[in-house]
Structure 1
Amino acid sequence: MGKTGMALLTGFNVLQIGRGPAAAVCGRLLADVGAQVTCIDPGAGATLLDHLNHGKAVAVDATEQRKALAAAHLIVREGRGAYDMTELRQVNASAIIVTISPFGETGPRANDPATDLTLFFASGISRLLTGQVDDLTEPPIRPVGEQSAFIGGLAAACAGMHASLGNQSGASIDVSIHEALATLAMTELARAGLGKKSWERKRLTDGNGATVTILPASDGYAAISPREEKQWASWLEAMGSPAWGDDPRFATKADRVNNWDALHALMSEWSRRHDKQSIADTAQRAHVPSFPLREVAEHLDTPQMRHRRYYAPHNLAGKTIQRPGTPFGLSVVASNRKQETPRGPMPLSGIRVLDFSWVIAGPTTTRYLAAMGAEVIKIEAPGKGDPGRATELHTALGQAKKSIAIDLKKPQAVEIVRALAAKSDILIENFATGVMDRLGLGAEALRAVNPDLIYISASGMGRTGPDAQAVAYGTLLQCYSGFAGLNRHPEVAPRVGFAWLDPMCGLMLAFVAAAALWHRQQEGGVARVDFSMIEAMLWTMAEPLVTTQLGAPPKPVGNGSMHHAPHGAWRCAGDEDWVSIVVRTNEEWRALCHLVPGLADMASLDLRQRRDAQHAIDAALAAWAAARSAAAVAESLLNAGIPAAALARHGDLVQSPHLAARGFWDKQGSGLLPGLPWRASFGRTLGPAPELGADADHVLATVLGLSPERIAELRTSGVLG
């Protein structure tokens, strides 16, 4: 599939109000799949905003603005003064209105000042971002490229698109960027909510290295992930079967974790003799997931991206650059009929989803679809099922789904799945390229039984192109894209970090599922989606991609900023107690100087002077913060109108009065599970995660009409687990 024919949302009108970057991200994603996006006061001059608002219409005068408002199906607003709800409803009573703000529209923190950095600290993501550390004096950091805006914007697009499907006229949606960021760490949130021990920031053994790690190369670094025993055996062979491969210290994954430092040193002796691309190529030939750590510029012209037609020329700041496209390879085929608007209390009431996805990205997608009212039938292998069941991941992401355990190696199982597909609206899968086709469950094969089936296929590199067969995981693609290499302090070697890309892709995939449903309802066309995770990663890395082409390639800067000073994190009284502080204006600077005795003589400094005096300012803030708790420091700064946030642990989020007031957490037995990254006027569907295969009898009886005797035969013959 190429990148032509992207207009899923032709005739869908969006009004984007305000200069907020998250609203611009939301509008960009909608425009990229064909929506007509009109802006009111979008701002200009900032590189990222100019990129995000490229090609959108701008309503300048009051008449144009009122016309755009009246015609909008979806209104997205961010920032103070972006029209109040009463004004909007006087002109358009039926549009879906999505409001994006740092902490949401309600709750005790709703009016707190915030920035990209402080939101990452407040959400707990800065604590996880770069993975476990050897030295707890290393400050936690934010990721490159204003990622809070991208996550908030993706959540807004996802929620807004679902609500626009037809049965939620006049709905309102409240997107909290803070909550959208927090839900990226679903396992840790679930563990904390269920009263279990949280992740440690201090590295104790392998820091996840036995599953995925970075090795030094002669020209940089390469990431590998021999997570399965057969992959480990293949990796040893790829390295030339070193003698230490038979060392009992490394016999099992548990052994490799416990003896990680020695193992990593031995692998590094080998890897330093090879360049990063040859390491990755050697591993991939052995079917071991591996990619080189690339600079952003290395992705601007590759055979894979040329084949996928990912980039498009675009004039920005007087220079023609390559603009990243969408990660959705789309083709649309004619349907026999337009589909009726779903009827029921939720946006996806009456929609059935056949879910072949596993681990994080796909299950996150179907978690959103289930929460929006879809009947999600999770297809799993007998035995252990989805690997997410080994942790709290399934407890959180499996909510309100149904499970069937079925052995797809048996022809009868495939026939049952084909029959379910014939009665479903969406199929989503993220197996290795070619697996579904070999099973007889590819898009073409299932079109014969259901021409109205929306088929969503997610993979690391996309299903077409010279790299389509590469074995890939989200964490490896974070390394490959340049994301991991930039998310660090300049003097610190790159680390893999936590699984950022997978949950982010979940938002994108849930969005495109809703867009495909809208297209099927309105136009009668049925979409096949070929989703590429590396393209999704690069889409959200727009700022470094653009600035690289404008002559300012990004470098690791930790918590540094070109626009604000001071801007960083300072250690407080506790072992893992950090506070983030950002000063955006001279007024905020004077307020800070009033609070911090060591800054009293610097109150007259402007931004340039503050940057010049950075070392003195850092020293004064460090001395002041060291004697106080991070929570106390943040509270005093917020009361003075200065953006600040203590580094949140996930237990802090469980205890947060603000999140409790917003109804973020849902009851789960004696514990809590995290909700969605948005509050919607129509609520969300709740329900426990299913046990493996628990719903087979019910689904086969109600959906396919099979008798109890026939179901018993299937179980006896091993078709059902």
Structure 2
Amino acid sequence: MADDFLKGIDWDTFNFTTASQEVLKRLAEPTGKFFLGHSKAELLEGAVKRHIQLCPVATTKDILESVQLAARQFWVEIEHPELGTTITYPGPFTKASETPPRISRRAPLIGEHNQEIFQQETGTPGQAETSPGKLKEKSQRQNPKKKPLEGIKVADFCWMVAGPIISKTLADYGAEVIKIEGRSRPDMWRTTVAKGDTPGVNLNSAFNQCNAGKLSVALNLAHPKGVEVARKFVARADIVIENMAGGVMKRMGLGYEELKKVKPDIIMLSTCLQGQTGPYANQPAMGFHVSALSGFCHITDWPDGEPEDLGVYTDYVAPYYSAAAILSALDYRRRTGRGQYFDMSQHEISVHVMAPLILDYEVNQRVAMRMGNRCDDAAPHGAYRCRGQDRWCAIAVFSDEEWRSFCRVIGNPGWVKKSKFRTLSARKENEDELDQLVEAWTINHSAEEVMTMLQAAGVAAGVVETPEDQVARDPQLKHRRFFREVDFPGYGKYLAPVGAHSLLSKTDYELRPGPLLGEHNDYVYKDILGLSSEEIASLSNEEVIS
């Protein structure tokens, strides 16, 4: 039971960012005591039942023992010939109604398929004379300015980061994306990190970055007629994307089975914390919950530190898996005329990034722990202080050849010849001393000088950049015109990163601003959906559109 202090707080108006340290301490004491009295599994079970955004800081062992992953049959068993046993691997990163991915074989041993490949290359009976799957480029040559996804229409029911980046990626390559949000419940990302101290739903550069190039309509999905209008968007769409909590779209009458009745060949993708099925499917969460549940927080910090919040790392990883799934569905529909449904678990996608550490536990029973900036396969490996205020350069030396190159760059001082630094294993045993000696050299140079000298010698090195470095000084980003000026209405002009990270050789990239809330109501409802002025007025009066 909560104490009187907790009960006396008005949680609807309480602001953690402005609360005093004394108040925060009083909050932490009973909360910490409660957590210490329960296991991670018990806390998760309680959170799921109460729809609370709480996730455990999972270890690799926890991930392999996950009830949710087992219920979704995520893992696959693969025989490993050298180990002579069956290994549990992360399974496909999505569930798909038509073309589910499958893992047909384990990773190959070194040179395992030499004979098979050499026979194919030298020509065997029945070998195809032409390369299969080569795309014809005639139409592209006729219209070199046409974007790859031009003509594709997307109904976007996404909010925050992980979902909007999927549809933004499609918009970057030419798709028409209509963002559907409510004026009374707009995308929450609009309300954070506003310009200066002025609050407003149209003053957030982070929202603009996640939604650049989209159209926006204001639609009240809590109203039955709002759902009817949403179906009109689906009827003329190729793709529907949503990242609400598991089951929300279905409960609104906008699940895949309902939408198929409106558009039989629709492609729909749902992405949320733990997928649409399983005992934990309906739990709401944010990106940092996925980072915790997927093991990233547990391995982040110094060896003697506690797990560290990694932020919404997975929000910027998962979307590109989803975009790839959608592209595969477009190709499948082009060939067969059939749409399909993707059930994407952001947790399952993120587990793939942790796969080497999960397999290490599966095979060797080693639970991955925090190790700061160090790496088992490299030394030196870390961020080293350089000349100037808070300037650092990251350095990684893996092979003996790289070590010799590193030694030449720093002038072959006497200490590099000592036996304690001669081999990787020796350097790992004396890594604290090694780091001090490396930093004694880097501190006399700027971070840019360290990076340039080491890169020229074939040693991996990079400046630990600030946002100012990236915008104003990074020569590679300047060369690729990564930052370009965009005029966001209500916000003004500013430099924004381009969205299409792989620049196309035949199509110019156009950086467009994100939309104001409901900015395109008139155009979309009249010109695209074909609603009459009377229909629009009636829906406005009923607060269906605004």
Asked if 1 retains the 8 angstrom alpha-carbon contact of 2:48 and 2:282, the reply is no
| Residue 387 (structure 1) aligned to one of 178, 188, 191 | 188
Q: Which amino acid aligns with 1:326?
A: P
- 1:311 to 2:86 alignment: no
Question: Which residue number in structure 2 is paired with residue 691 of structure 1?
Answer: 516
Asked if 1 retains the 8 angstrom alpha-carbon contact of 2:48 and 2:280, the reply is no
Alpha-carbon shift at residue 351 of structure 1 (Å): 0.7
| Residue 420 (structure 1) aligned to one of 233, 252, 259 | 233
Question: Which residue number in structure 2 is paired with residue 481 of structure 1?
Answer: 294
Alpha-carbon shift at residue 653 of structure 1 (Å): 0.8
Question: Which residue number in structure 2 is paired with residue 322 of structure 1?
Answer: 88
Question: Which residue number in structure 2 is paired with residue 338 of structure 1?
Answer: none
- 1:674 to 2:491 alignment: no
Alpha-carbon shift at residue 596 of structure 1 (Å): 3.6
Mapping 1:369-380, distance limit 5 Å: 369-380=170-181
Q: Secondary structure at the match of 1:484?
A: coil
Question: Which residue number in structure 2 is paired with residue 654 of structure 1?
Answer: 471
Alpha-carbon shift at residue 251 of structure 1 (Å): 7.8
In 2, distance between residues paired with 1:611 and 1:483?
24
- 1:563 to 2:377 alignment: yes
In 2, distance between residues paired with 1:713 and 1:412?
11
Q: 1:404 to 1:440 in 2, by over 3 A?
A: same
Mapping 1:292-303, distance limit 5 Å: 292-303=56-67
Structure 1, unpaired ranges of 5+ = 1-239, 334-340
Alpha-carbon shift at residue 330 of structure 1 (Å): 1.1
Question: Which residue number in structure 2 is paired with residue 410 of structure 1?
Answer: 223
Alpha-carbon shift at residue 600 of structure 1 (Å): 2.9
Question: Which residue number in structure 1 is paired with residue 393 of structure 2?
Answer: 579
Asked if 2 retains the 8 angstrom alpha-carbon contact of 1:599 and 1:620, the reply is no
Question: Which residue number in structure 2 is paired with residue 243 of structure 1?
Answer: 4
Mapping 1:526-545, distance limit 5 Å: 526-545=339-358
In 2, distance between residues paired with 1:685 and 1:453?
28
Deviation per residue, 1:648-702 (Å, 9 max, x gap) = 1111111122112112122213321111322222243432211111111111222
Alpha-carbon shift at residue 622 of structure 1 (Å): 2.3
Question: Which residue number in structure 1 is paired with residue 331 of structure 2?
Answer: 518
- 1:467 to 2:467 alignment: no
Q: Secondary structure at the match of 2:523?
A: helix
Q: Which amino acid aligns with 2:190?
A: R
Q: Secondary structure at the match of 1:579?
A: strand
In 2, distance between residues paired with 1:628 and 1:672?
30
In 1, distance between residues paired with 2:14 and 2:417?
56
- How many residue pairs match? The answer is 475
Asked if 1 retains the 8 angstrom alpha-carbon contact of 2:486 and 2:511, the reply is no
Q: Which amino acid aligns with 2:98?
A: V
Q: Secondary structure at the match of 2:316?
A: helix
Q: 1:307 to 1:276 in 2, by over 3 A?
A: closer
Asked if 2 retains the 8 angstrom alpha-carbon contact of 1:373 and 1:685, the reply is no
Q: Which amino acid aligns with 2:216?
A: S
In 1, distance between residues paired with 2:540 and 2:440?
68
Question: Which residue number in structure 2 is paired with residue 632 of structure 1?
Answer: 449
Deviation per residue, 1:517-540 (Å, 9 max, x gap) = 111001222110111111111122
Q: 1:668 to 1:550 in 2, by over 3 A?
A: same
Deviation per residue, 1:325-370 (Å, 9 max, x gap) = 123111129xxxxxxx999711211111000010001100011010
Q: Which amino acid aligns with 1:647?
A: V
Q: Secondary structure at the match of 1:673?
A: strand
Question: Which residue number in structure 2 is paired with residue 622 of structure 1?
Answer: 439
Alpha-carbon shift at residue 425 of structure 1 (Å): 0.5
Percent sequence identity is: 31
Question: Which residue number in structure 2 is paired with residue 225 of structure 1?
Answer: none
Asked if 2 retains the 8 angstrom alpha-carbon contact of 1:377 and 1:404, the reply is yes
- 1:495 to 2:276 alignment: no
Q: Which amino acid aligns with 2:460?
A: P
Mapping 1:103-122, distance limit 5 Å: none
- Normalised by the length of structure 2, the TM-score is 0.82
| Residue 45 (structure 2) aligned to one of 267, 281, 288 | 281
Alpha-carbon shift at residue 625 of structure 1 (Å): 2.6
Deviation per residue, 1:46-92 (Å, 9 max, x gap) = xxxxxxxxxxxxxxxxxxxxxxxxxxxxxxxxxxxxxxxxxxxxxxx
- Normalised by the length of structure 1, the TM-score is 0.62
Alpha-carbon shift at residue 718 of structure 1 (Å): 1.2
Mapping 1:156-175, distance limit 5 Å: none
Q: 1:575 to 1:247 in 2, by over 3 A?
A: farther
Question: Which residue number in structure 1 is paired with residue 103 of structure 2?
Answer: none
Return the index of the structure with the highest Cα Rg: 2
Q: Secondary structure at the match of 2:262?
A: coil
Q: 1:259 to 1:278 in 2, by over 3 A?
A: farther
Alpha-carbon shift at residue 443 of structure 1 (Å): 0.9
Q: Secondary structure at the match of 1:545?
A: helix
Q: Secondary structure at the match of 1:525?
A: coil
Deviation per residue, 1:96-116 (Å, 9 max, x gap) = xxxxxxxxxxxxxxxxxxxxx
Question: Which residue number in structure 2 is paired with residue 186 of structure 1?
Answer: none
Asked if 2 retains the 8 angstrom alpha-carbon contact of 1:277 and 1:291, the reply is no
In 1, distance between residues paired with 2:359 and 2:8?
48
Alpha-carbon shift at residue 452 of structure 1 (Å): 1.1
In 2, distance between residues paired with 1:582 and 1:413?
55
Q: Which amino acid aligns with 1:424?
A: A
Q: Secondary structure at the match of 2:317?
A: helix
Q: 1:624 to 1:686 in 2, by over 3 A?
A: closer
| Residue 705 (structure 1) aligned to one of 520, 530, 537 | 530
Question: Which residue number in structure 1 is paired with residue 159 of structure 2?
Answer: 358
